[in-house]
Chain A
Amino acid sequence: MAIGVKVMQRPGREASYMRATLKGMALTFRHLFRRKVTMQYPEERSTETWTLSPRWRGTHRMLTDEQGRSKCVACGLCPQICPANCIKLVPGEDEEGNRYPLIYEIDEFRCVFCGYCQEVCPEEAIHVGVHYENAEYERGRFVYDLERLSAQTHPVSSLWDPTDPRGE
């Protein structure tokens, strides 16, 4: 029992339990017929009120040129900037002196999806993608190699543009 609690002398219409109950019941009854907000996920992936943002940073994608070779020139900027240290890059060089990645792997478990790799890439090769369904049966499958990164088809992230902060 509280000591010295100030008790508000409220008018009857506010103190009445029955009236409050009926009011609450009217409210819940109105909600019975409201439009439902549930999105039926596997069938329905976006509604008019909710879509994935074009700035979403998800699973990576490596873009390729017309000949189907990856655009990466193995400059080493992305492993350098990566805060999670999840990119493994071993550079190689062909007879003409063009650099290309011998090994390019991203550990999607370590990745924090900051998008720095995309920002720093001079060739616009590595991108974070607008994609989020990447469940696998084994942990090993989360290390994406170059072939798999290039084979992805989902849209790439448009990242945040400082000249257009609101995305207009």
Chain B
Amino acid sequence: MTPELKGFVLVAVVKTAAVFTFLMLLVAYSTLLERWIASWMQDRIGPNRAGPKGLFQPIADGLKNLLKEEVIPDGANKVFFVIAPAISLMAALIIPLTIPWAAPIPLEFDMTLPVLGRFVHHGATPATVTVLPIGFLWVLAISSVGVYGIALGGWASNNKYSLLGGLRATAQMVSYEVAMGLSVIPVLLLVGNVSFVEIVSVQQQGPFSWLALPLALSAFIFLVSGFAETNRVPFDMPEAESELVAGYHTEYSAMKFSAFMIGEFTGMVTISMMFVTLFLGGWDIPFTHWDEAGGMLQVVATAGVFFVKMLFFLFLFMWIRWTLPRFRYDQLMALGWKIFIPMGLAYILYIAVALWLVDGPLGAASTALRFGLLFLFNIPVLVLVFRVLDRGRLIRGVSVHLPASASRPARAV
């Protein structure tokens, strides 16, 4: 190996280790955060016994799960039962590796290590484990692999509740994947690239260029589909503890159950990261170009900003979970297929026409003007969705409107 290749490998390994460690720590502590927020919202104190303020709770939980007995049910399909949590965890863990979480890191070294030899690295390296040119296409592809974990787990358990949970998960995740895919196409139209690095760099061009404004409806659909993708409340039909015991992971215990849990929380982290990257400027610090200058200080600052933005969405996930009740299954499917998919398709057309108008007849020269005009185009859409459609049409109640002739006088029962 040449010294340059060795340097590249070294940097890649260090970045992978760093991201993986950070991710696992974040996931561990988001379980604690979830329990804290749950209890605070219910006027309780929450976990406060393990270590100072309960900060060692994730460690205690992890140890407990490692030491517990692993039960594999007699009737289960052993092979699939064992791989299912692994698939679910793996699919969740590899997605964040493509997301840039800070400004490019300036790295220059030329060193010789005792056994391994000479390592050379020149120039800034992007603060992401891998710069994938296919960006979010890859994310969409991998996140559909996650469905296999849940569906397999539910099916291999040989338990009716697990199977129902697995089936629901499959139907739900497949439907909302379509909505999610449609919601990122306007980003592609506007940026012209699916690479996360490119998307972030477009959003750095001045104030108000975060895509959440010019593509507001996309952001909304993406966020809601994200909730559905990660099976979080109000879309937690696959688990639905009040009707399906624990859904697809009813039969799982100890570390395999933990793997599903880590998968779910990593999914939350991933969706938060994706939303921040696609619609909230990624690691961009607003109203300044200082963060693009390059340098170690900038790297730290932008990583911090990215973390704060992501943490807000993690909090939002938990906030919603402890606020909303679960949807009915038909409401969930209707929202996915009858509302979001047509809405997403129509929005793609609308944005395409709006973009053509902005770039062509209106001739917006600067990016700021372009995004501003696009935002103006969004206002009628938002009014339509949130004022006109959101009157019992987005989420339907239990009863339907019937023509007068169809309604009969109530009979005594």
Contacts and interface: CB of A to CB of B under 8 A. Distances in A.
Given A5-B399, A28-B41, A18 B390 contact: yes
Contacts of B53: none
A37 B44 CA distance: 6
B68 interface: no
Contact of B394 (A4, A17, A31, A35): A17
Contacts of B392: 10, 15, 17
Interface residues of A, number: 27
Contact of B402 (A4, A28, A29, A40): A4
B383 to A, nearest CB: 12
A98 interface: no
Contacts of B400: 1-2, 5, 7
A7 B401 contact: yes
A83 to B, nearest CB: 39
A3 interface: yes
A27 B319 CA distance: 11
A107 to B, nearest CB: 36
A129 to B, nearest CB: 30
A4 B395 contact: no
Query: Which range holds the interface residue count of chain B?
Result: 20 to 34
A40 B398 CA distance: 43
A38 B38 CA distance: 14
Contacts of A1: 399-400
Interface in B283-331: 319-320, 322-324
Interface stretch (B2-10, B153-161, B404-412): B404-412
Contacts of B406: 4
B45 A28 contact: no
A19 B407 CA distance: 31
B45 A24 contact: no
B323 A18 contact: no
Nearest to B401: A7
A38 B49 CA distance: 14
A1 B398 CA distance: 8
21 contacts: A3-B402, A4-B402, A4-B406, A4-B407, A4-B410, A12-B387, A15-B391, A16-B386, A17-B392, A18-B386, A21-B320, A21-B323, A21-B324, A25-B319, A28-B41, A31-B40, A31-B41, A31-B43, A35-B43, A36-B44, A37-B44
Given A4-B407, A4-B410, A31-B42, 19 more contacts: A3-B408, A4-B402, A7-B399, A7-B401, A10-B392, A12-B391, A15-B390, A15-B391, A17-B395, A18-B394, A21-B320, A21-B324, A24-B324, A25-B319, A25-B320, A25-B323, A28-B323, A37-B44, A40-B45
Give me the 4 closest cross-chain CB pairs, A-B, nearest first: A5-B399, A4-B407, A15-B392, A38-B45
